Amino acid sequence: MQISGAQMVIEAFIAEGVDTVFGYPGGAIMNVYDEIYKQDKFQHILNRHEQASVHAAEGYSKVSGKVGVAMITSGPGFTNAVTGLADAYMDSIPLVVISGQVPMSLIGTDAFQEIDAVGISRSCTKHNYLVTDVKDLPRILKEAFYIARTGRPGPVHIDIPKDITAEIGEFDYDIELNLETYKPHTKGNPRQIKKAIEAIAKAKRPLFYLGGGIINANAAYLVRELIQKTGIPAVETFMARGVLSFDDPLLIGMLGMHGSYASNMAMSETDLVIGLGVRFDDRVTGKLSEFAKNADVIHVDIDPASISKLVNADYPIVGDVKNVVSDMLEQVGKIDSENYESWRETIINFNELHPLTFHEDTERIKPQWVIKRVGELLGDDANISTDVGQHQMWAGQFYPFTRPRQFISSSGLGTMGFGFPAAIGAKAAAPEKTSINFTGDGSILMNVQELMTAVEKKIPVINIILNNNFLGMVRQWQTLFYDKRHSETDLSVQPDFVKLSEAFGGIGYRVTTKEEFDAALKDAVEKNVVAFIEVIVHRMENVMPMVPSGGSLFNMMLLEKKGDK
């Protein structure tokens, strides 16, 4: 059929099953927004900042497992969105982000709101396009969705000049894709899988190292089965929280800079690392030369560039984690879980020696208590988003996650301001779940304008602001490593968060006691509207354990026991 470029975008969304688009209009993308006005197949959520549009699309994608979609205009509209693209690229989140561009005749003339969007996005997208002919647009749209969701997922950017959106061309979306240079390898090599199973059977202290790639591959429940059948303990990265349920006896905990003592010691003592969907990030490994230095490594990942990039893999397996784990399950009969009984007892001893805990305070609320309490009251009924900082790490440590896609956070890029818009996207993807955003008094102000988005669209996100009047994580480093020189991290001058929420049409609570918190959370859930719950927490609390940057996992700074000085 002969339609305009703008109509092609709409028809592609419909063909791809898109039900939600996040965005912000402007001159260069106006033709597409005119077509959005005319259709009723999907909803458009108007954010109040383009960065928030992309973060909301990330939150939607993380919860739904679908490709998130965002749309912005040229120039500053695009540059505002770049942080979201970089965030999605680091965390392997499938997105299609469409930006408007000045007309073809004006490209390169420094026209109003012109920017080299494709040049800028090249380093922070899986792939990008500048559309120069309307006849290419259907193919490009189809390729973009395919590339975003296959292989190692990631964001794809399409830049469309305004005149291309106005031109008429033939829309054929049934074309067969043939990307000669893009052929994701999804099946693991059977010989390598057999060797890996043999290595597991011979190991005395094997350890599953679970990464976010498991969730991307929708492989969590197969991984649970594999771990149960082998009896091998497991650690999760921050991005993998929820792969195993918090109460699984074989889950040791979170690994890395703020991982539990038992998890980090288990990684330091293992003789075989079984890495599934991981990339050996520096926040996990610490000092590379000391990371699992007595262990062989099995590394399963769909991205061949990730294998042996940082840690040499003795048993490299390129393939989709879901397919590889499925093949491994067929051979687990060779593995005797009784062989690992003493290893499991060693790990129990690690946990008893230094359990993951915190010291209660009779006068002030501890932030860890807030996170645990939300878990006790809402548990599986909530999807948990976070901003970035101490509250983010405490959420990873203390929330009782029960399922994959329950936890939404900015991991690789560490983007303050991510949490609120991501929680909006999470709620759009799963309206039946309560959407909680744990945030800090610093992070919440980064995208506070999204209060208006949530109020207008009646998206009831509950923002729990753990207010310590500090940029907490930076302050922690300054306290520990900069002789308490708290340079520009004191946030004592703040808005009235209750009035701020009310000014946008939401509700607000300020709590200083546990009883007040319980009442506020219950009320916010029952009222089912946008809410700020400001919790005045212990000001100088630190996230512990902590592995200093560049240090070895087994050299952790630990929580002082009561009575220690």
Say which residues have a Cβ less than 8 Å from residue 337's Cβ, sequence separation at least 6: 229, 230, 231, 232
- Given the residues 16, 35, 50, 143, the one annotated as active site: 50
Distance CA 274, CA 271 (A): 10
Active site residue 7: no
Q: Kindly compute the dihedral angle of the four CA atoms of residues 219, 545, 281, 152, in this order, to the nearest 10 degrees.
A: 20
Active site residue 473: yes
80 near 51, Cβ under 8 Å? yes
Q: Hey, is 560 helix, strand or coil? A: coil
Q: Kindly compute the dihedral angle of the four CA atoms of residues 51, 55, 56, 61, in this order, to the nearest 10 degrees.
A: 150
- Given the residues 39, 41, 43, 112, the one annotated as active site: 112
Distance CA 378, CA 364 (A): 23
How far is C-alpha 504 from the geometric centre of its chain's CA atoms?
Answer: 27
Between the alpha carbon of residue 12 and those of residues 143, 300, 396, 452, the distances in Å are 11, 34, 37, 29
Q: For residue 70, what are the β-bridge partners?
A: 22, 97
382 near 63, Cβ under 8 Å? no
How many Cα atoms sit within 13 Å of 345 on the Cβ side? 6
189 near 319, Cβ under 8 Å? yes
In 12-137, DSSP assigns E strands to 20-23, 43-46, 68-72, 95-101, 127-130
Maximal CA-CA distance, the chain: 77
Phi, psi of 321 (to 5 degrees): -55, -40
Phi, psi of 239 (to 5 degrees): -75, -15
- Given the residues 30, 42, 104, 113, the one annotated as active site: 113
Say which residues have a Cβ less than 8 Å from residue 406's Cβ, sequence separation at least 6: 241, 242, 380, 382, 383, 384
Between the alpha carbon of residue 227 and those of residues 75, 83, 233, the distances in Å are 49, 37, 7
Distance CA 85, CA 155 (A): 6
Q: Hey, is 20 helix, strand or coil? A: strand
565: burial class by Cβ within 10 Å (0-12, 13-18, 19+)? Answer: exposed
- Given the residues 239, 393, 473, 556, the one annotated as active site: 473
Backbone torsion region of residue 151, taken as left when φ is above 0, otherwise alpha when ψ lies between -120 and 50, otherwise beta: left
Active site residue 449: no
Say which residues have a Cβ less than 8 Å from residue 260's Cβ, sequence separation at least 6: 252, 253, 254, 351, 354, 355, 356, 397, 545
- Given the residues 162, 322, 366, 427, the one annotated as active site: 162
Distance CA 437, CA 420 (A): 6
Active site residue 50: yes
Radius of gyration over alpha carbons of the chain, in Å? 24
223 near 214, Cβ under 8 Å? yes
At position 349, the amino acid (one-letter code) is: N
Active site residues: 50, 112-113, 162, 473
